[in-house]
Amino acid sequence: MTRRDLVDDVLSAADDPPGPLTDESDAPPATDETDIPPESSDDDLLDALGDEVSRDVLLACNRAPMTAEELAENCDVSESTIYRRLETLSSLGLVERTQRIDAPSKTCYETVVDGLSIHLGDSLRVEAGSSNYVVDAMRTLLAAIDVQQLAYDREQNSVDVRFRLAPHLLDSLVELYVRDTNSREE
C-alpha cells in the first residue's frame, strides 16, 4: 500500500471530517496569475535562474517595484541587458509590469512569486507560487520515513502515525524534539 493509498483510506473512513487533514486551506492552490505559464518549460525556468543578473532582478523586484533604470544601476549592467532579462522573466510568469505611486508615469517591475520548488522524482519538476513551508516540511519528512500506520481521530482532531526510521535519523529526531520542547517551555 502506498502512502497516498494509506491517507486516502484514512480520510475515506470518515465522512469528510473537519480538521487539518481535510481543511480546504490545505488543498492545492488554485491556479492563478503567479503560476508559471504552461508553455514555459522547467528547463527554461532553470536556465533563467542560472543567470546571476536574472536572480538579482528577481531579488530586487521582490523588495519593491523597480524601473529598468533602477535595476540596471542595482545590478551594474546595461538597461538593454535588464530589458532582455525582464522579457524572459515575464514570459516565465516570475515578474510583471506595474506602477509605483511615487512614479505613476514610469513602468516598474515586481516579482510575482514568493517561492520556487524543485521536485526530484521520476523527472525534474519546478513549481512557482506561494510557499507553504509546513507542507514542504511534511513532504521532506515523508520522503525520509516509512509510514506503517496512520489513524485519524475525528473527535480529538488528532493523527497517530507509526513509522520506521533509520537509527541515525532517530537520533536527530529525538534531539530536535527535545530542543523544541525545551524552547517552548522557556
Q: What is the pLDDT of residue 38?
A: 47
pLDDT (average), residues 5-11: 54
Q: How sure is the predictor about 131, in pLDDT bands with cuts at 50, 70 and 90?
A: low
Q: What is the pLDDT of residue 89?
A: 95
pLDDT (average), residues 161-186: 86
Q: What pLDDT, in 10s, does the model give residues 101-125?
A: 877 888 999 999 888 777 777 888 7
Q: What is the pLDDT of residue 14?
A: 45
Q: Would you kindly state where each structural domain of the chain is located, as residue ranges?
A: 42-111, 145-183
DSSP state of 25: G
Comparing 129 with 137, which gets the higher pLDDT? 137
Alpha helices in the chain (DSSP H): 3-13, 42-49, 52-63, 68-75, 79-91, 133-144, 167-185
> Which of the listed CATH numbers 3.30.70.260, 3.40.50.11540, 1.10.3720.10, 1.10.10.10 matches domain 42-111?
1.10.10.10
Q: What is the pLDDT of residue 34?
A: 42
Q: What pLDDT, in 10s, does the model give residues 20-72?
A: 443 434 444 444 444 444 445 888 888 998 999 999 999 999 999 999 999 99
- State yes or no: pLDDT of 133 exceeds 80: no
The whole-angstrom separation of Cα 130 and Cα 35 is: 9
Least confident of 9-18, 105-114, 121-130: 9-18
Q: What grid cell was written down for 179? A: 530542543
Q: What pLDDT, in 10s, does the model give residues 59-92?
A: 999 999 999 999 999 999 999 999 999 999 999 9
Comparing 18 with 73, which gets the higher pLDDT? 73
Cα→Cα distances 31→18, 86, 99, 129, 174, Å? 24, 22, 24, 9, 38
